[in-house]
Amino acid sequence: MNFEDIVKTLKAEFGETVKEAAPGTVVADPGEIEKIALFCRDNPLLDFKALIALSGVDHPGRIEIVLHLASYGKKHFLVIKTALDRNKPEISTLENVWKTANWHERECAELLGVLFKGHSDPRKLLLPDDWLGYPLRKDYVPPTEYHGISHSRHNPVEKKRGAPPS
């Protein structure tokens, strides 16, 4: 099955809530993402049993969620993108569709501030529980210290010796 056939199959089921964006990529309505994901996994023509990656991208005014899907049996791939309101980025969890979505969503929530509604375990993966802000947002300003420990990007020993910064 080629990409055009994949798009035709998706459009036949979901109409204009799915649009072709670029070769190998479709854009989907965020309110339909769980239904689209289930269809992609369970439809025998599509057979997208593997979620390779779920990531987020910070754009002006929106957070974009990007899903990379694979069908190893059919030997085809698909990228699905969906845009969320940057001020309130919320979307349904996909961990009930692909178990691998669990950690991908946790990372995206922690680093971009996306709320995955219905997620079973929203704990942080990378940052301390009391970390403020979302480090992958373009307007994020990293703190210069955490709990009194400086983590600025200079070497205080070299500054004392008068050595030029490297």
Domain membership flag for residue 23: yes
Rounded mean pLDDT of 61-73?
97
Say if residue 1's pLDDT is above 70.
Answer: yes
- Supply the CATH number for residue 56's domain: 3.30.460.80
Domain membership flag for residue 150: no
pLDDT tens per residue across span 80-108: 999 999 999 999 999 999 999 999 999 99
pLDDT tens per residue across span 116-165: 999 999 999 999 999 999 999 999 988 888 888 887 766 555 555 555 55
Domain membership flag for residue 98: yes
Nearest residue to 57 (alpha-carbon basis) of 142, 124, 137: 137
Domain membership flag for residue 164: no
Domain membership flag for residue 159: no
CA distance 26 to 24: 7
The total number of structural domains in the chain stands at 1
Q: Quote the domain boundaries for residue 31.
A: 3-132
* Per-residue model confidence (pLDDT) at position 166: 54
What pTM value is reported for the model?
Answer: 0.87
Domain membership flag for residue 140: no
Contacts of 5 (CB under 8 A, 6+ apart): 45
* Per-residue model confidence (pLDDT) at position 164: 58
* Per-residue model confidence (pLDDT) at position 154: 61
Among the residue ranges 21-35, 63-77, 101-115, 150-164, the one predicted with the least confidence is 150-164
Nearest residue to 37 (alpha-carbon basis) of 72, 62, 63, 13: 13
Domain membership flag for residue 157: no
Domain membership flag for residue 141: no
Read off the pLDDT band of 17 (50, 70, 90).
very high
Q: Kindly report the average pLDDT of the chain as a whole number.
A: 92
Nearest residue to 94 (alpha-carbon basis) of 116, 71, 112, 121: 116
Compute the Cα dihedral for 60, 30, 20, 113 and give only its sign: positive
CA distance 68 to 66: 7
